[in-house]
Amino acid sequence: MVRTIAFCNHKGGVGKTTSTASIGVAMARQGKKVLLVDLDGQANLTGIFVSADQVEKSIYNALVEKEALPIISIEKDLELVPSDLNMSAAEVKMSGLFNREMRLTHILAKVKDNYDYVLIDCPPSLGVVTINAFFAADDIYVPISPEILPLKGMMMIENVLEDLREAKPELAITGVFITRFDSRKNINKAVEEEVRKQYANVIFNTHIRDNVSLSECPGANCSIFDYDTKSKGAQDYLNLTREILERNK
């Protein structure tokens, strides 16, 4: 049965897009059929896999203009719904649309049964586009860097979800994982301990170690598994993916 996971954090720089891409590739290479959905106007997830001139239509055209969902094949068992700069205007364009919070749900309903996993890369905001992802998702995963401000920012996500539970009571953060972890930094260890205490029931055991290869691979327009499969980043994301698959058995 298909599982839809939204990767969300309203703070940038926590590895949200890298996580979506890495987990998607790892799942596909373990035989799972995966659809990646890029909801961010910066189109960073899209840029990891395809060049801008390969994107004729994007998720914007489906969400706002009710066109067919554009799907690009990346490799065996891995496909992508791309984004482009038009998505930067989606918040404004969608604000006056009927049933605007459910548009992504209805769009994905037409195709999601073709996949084992649908992974949604949310924009770094908590507006109507991200709310669409929340309503479409079975799970909400939050990558968090081990610093004070991202930890405080978790409360903003919790508050938004609480407001939305009137329409979807089961909405909750169902997965948390630490990114950019450096065991040499005391603040990293202290924040990780606090996150594990607050989210003991949903936090994954694997944390993603700070790794230069993870910073470099988006610029090389490829996933960590094609950029440096022997890196700590690749090892960590493979372990995290195995945890996710085990949790969803």
Global pTM value: 0.96
Rounded alpha-carbon distances, angstroms, from residue 205 to 116, 119, 224: 23, 20, 20
Q: Are 17 and 218 in contact (CB under 8 A)?
A: yes
Q: Give the integer Cα–Cα distance in Å for 151 and 148.
A: 5
Q: How much is the CA Rg of the chain, to the nearest whole Å? A: 17
Domain boundaries in the chain?
A: 3-247
d(CA 203, CA 123): 22
Residue 116 has pLDDT above 80, yes or no: yes
Residue 221 half-sphere exposure toward CB, CA atoms < 13 A: 7
Q: How confident is the model at residue 14 (pLDDT cuts 50, 70, 90)?
A: confident
Q: Which residues contact 143 (CB under 8 A, 6 or more apart)?
A: 7, 9, 14, 15, 16, 19, 176, 177, 178, 179, 208
Chain segment 205-249, per-residue pLDDT in tens: 999 999 999 989 988 888 999 999 999 999 999 999 999 999 998
> Do the Cβ atoms of 100 and 127 come closer than 8 Å?
no
Give the separation between CA 238 and CA 120, rounded to whole angstroms.
Answer: 18
Beta-carbon count within 10 A of 63 CB: 24
Q: Report the C-alpha gap between 84 and 56 in whole angstroms.
A: 9
Which residue in this structure is represented by tokens 């508050």?
159
151, burial (CB in 10 Å: exposed 0-12, middle 13-18, buried 19+): middle
Percent residues over pLDDT 90 in the chain: 74
May I ask the CATH class of domain 3-247?
alpha beta
DSSP for 63-92 reads HHH-PPPP-EEEETTEEEE---GGGGGHHH
Examine the pLDDT at 103 and tell me if it is beyond 90.
yes
d(CA 112, CA 198): 33
